[in-house]
Chain A
Amino acid sequence: MNKINSETLIKVDNIGLFKNDKWLVKGVSLEVKRGEIVTLIGPNGSGKTTTAKIALGIHKNIEGKVLRFTDKVGYVPQKISVDWTLPIRVVDFMLLTQNLSDEEIINALKLTGVEHLKNNNLSNLSGGEFQRVLIARAIAKNPDLLVLDEPVQGVDFKGEISLYELIKEISDKVNCGILLISHDLHVVMSSTDYVVCLNGHVCCSGTPQSVANNNKYQELFGDRASTILSVYEHKHDHTHSADGTIKRKQ
């Protein structure tokens, strides 16, 4: 892949977090460049979210160094709950950490397909709708760096594909760097530039192909995981639009 612009947006160097008598993660290094999608994969409890939070500066008292070269960060957390006592509409939520014009709000909500929910109350949204709003909020101001922690959880199958396509599109169009946490190995292998496989430490990392062929990866995810890449490559001659119809490549 030809990346014209290879400016580093964030670099974490040998980071670790020791909490409640154990290392949540240790010795993790990675780098996200402009226009690049870096994906963290790994089993539950392997420190994916922790790594992302350290990179974002949420966890204090860490080992190692985090160098962030931009302040324009969009974050989609893994979990967020807003309870009844706080009356907040989607439009208020969009403005949470940023100033946006009405047009920017509508455009962002349109991209994730939820512009009709603009004046709905946040606590009345379904899980999938809420994820779409979270993504819309994070991308509304064209950030330099997007950190997406399982951004499509709870989204229906059709929506999942189109949202991942959207993420890919944003990375190309806005030319931002994306740090993605995902369980969906298909997506990871098909549309990311660099994969970091975590299990408390960096188990292996590299291009999707090299990780898929790595023994440690196969141990961690089982034999079937390594076949995913070939499955994907087989499908490479077409893409799907949001409604599931096949678009042959010209």
Chain B
Amino acid sequence: MFDDFFIRALIAGIGIALVTGPLGCFIIWRRLSFFGDTLSHSALLGVTIAFFFELNIAFSVFLISSAIALILLKLQKTTKLPGDALLGLLAHSSLAVGLVVIGFLTTIRFDIMGLLFGDILAVNEIDLLIIWIGGALILLILKFIWKPLFASTVNHELAEAEGMNPDKVNAIFTVLLAAIIAISIKIVGLLLITGMLIMPAAMARNVSNNPTQMVKLSIIGGLLSVIIGLFSSLEINTPSGPSIITAALVLFCLTLIKIKNYSELKK
């Protein structure tokens, strides 16, 4: 019924939505949206390095994004610049260096639009393997660090005082973010990954009243966005990333209606 490439894109998108759901909740809870942006900007540098040394894109992006993330954690402890300034500094310098490296790559041509906004034609079997194995690993590690990570999200000092090692799990969480960005670049595109992370979580927040419920609804929201987005991408021939995010926007607006009804009920 559908072409192979579309089935592959669908399987890839579903795998990504399963992982962005819970990670996105933590991004919203910890106010890390801009941090996600910084990591995805730095992904451009990772992509160009992958082309330069003929590496796997996901692998190279993962390395560069984790490095940027860990540099940021270090800088936050050693300088007095506020967090958002540091994020901007790293986001734009890695973006700029990435673009400069592209300038050197005159002999290699690649689809910059596909890179920025995602391309459902680009997903091959190896990408599927990376997404599903990588995704499963991310979820497994997240499940393992869930309790201390959640505790430190609610209150860092409380977690520290009661022996939860918040600094360690925060660093691990950061690396997980780099990993999800690396595996979702091809389908969502690096400009829109943060959207894929925060929008399902944001719509879930509107309709949930406890953390576990929010994570579950966030996964469902992400799955719906991916499925609706990819079908419309196929139908009206739009890039996959923007289609998924637009679908997420529509779903988000629907959850706002639920909030409105709820507050009217309360009156």
Contact = CB atoms under 8 A, between A and B. Distances in A.
Q: Do these two chains interact?
A: yes
Interface of A: 53, 56-58, 71, 73-75, 77, 80, 82, 85-89, 92-93, 96-98, 121, 147
A11 to B, nearest CB: 17
A24 to B, nearest CB: 15
A73 to B, nearest CB: 6
A58 B163 CA distance: 10
B205 interface: yes
Contacts of A88: 154, 210-211
B43 to A, nearest CB: 25
Interface string B154-188: 11011111111000000000000000000000000
B61 interface: no
A58 B164 CA distance: 11
B158 A73 contact: no
A53 B162 contact: no
A108 to B, nearest CB: 15
A216 to B, nearest CB: 30
Given A73-B161, A85-B205, A92-B210, 17 more contacts: A53-B157, A57-B160, A57-B161, A58-B160, A75-B162, A85-B29, A86-B154, A86-B211, A88-B211, A89-B209, A92-B211, A92-B212, A96-B150, A97-B158, A97-B159, A97-B163, A98-B162
Q: Which of A71, A87, A92 lies at the interface centre, i.e. has the most chain B CB atoms within 10 A of its CB?
A: A87
A98 B212 CA distance: 16
* Chain B: interface size category: 20 to 34
Nearest to B155: A80
Contacts of B211: 86-88, 92
A26 to B, nearest CB: 21
Interface string B70-83: 00000000000000
Contact of A80 (B31, B158, B213): B158
B214 interface: yes
Contact of A58 (B157, B205, B210, B214): B157
B163 A93 contact: no
Interface of B: 28-29, 31, 147, 150-151, 153-155, 157-164, 205, 208-214
Given A89-B210, A121-B209, A82 B154 contact: yes
A56 B153 CA distance: 18
A58 B159 CA distance: 9
A56 B164 CA distance: 12
Given A56-B161, A75-B162, A97-B164, A87 B154 contact: no
B209 A97 contact: no
Nearest to A84: B205
B209 A87 contact: yes
Contacts of A92: 210-212
14 contacts: A56-B160, A58-B160, A73-B162, A75-B158, A77-B155, A77-B161, A82-B154, A85-B31, A87-B211, A87-B213, A87-B214, A92-B210, A98-B162, A121-B209
Nearest 4 CB-CB pairs, A to B? A56-B161, A75-B161, A97-B162, A86-B29
B239 to A, nearest CB: 30
Nearest to A99: B147
Given A57-B161, A75-B162, A96 B151 contact: yes
Contact of A97 (B28, B151, B153, B210): B151
Contacts of A74: 162
B204 to A, nearest CB: 9
A241 B144 CA distance: 46
A73 B205 CA distance: 32
Given A71-B163, A92-B210, A97-B164, A87 B157 contact: no
A96 B155 CA distance: 10
Contacts of B160: 56-58
A57 to B, nearest CB: 6
A54 to B, nearest CB: 11
Contacts of B29: 85-86
A219 B23 CA distance: 55
A87 B210 contact: yes
Nearest to A81: B155
Contact of A96 (B157, B158, B212): B158
Nearest to B157: A58
B147 A97 contact: yes
Contacts of B150: 96
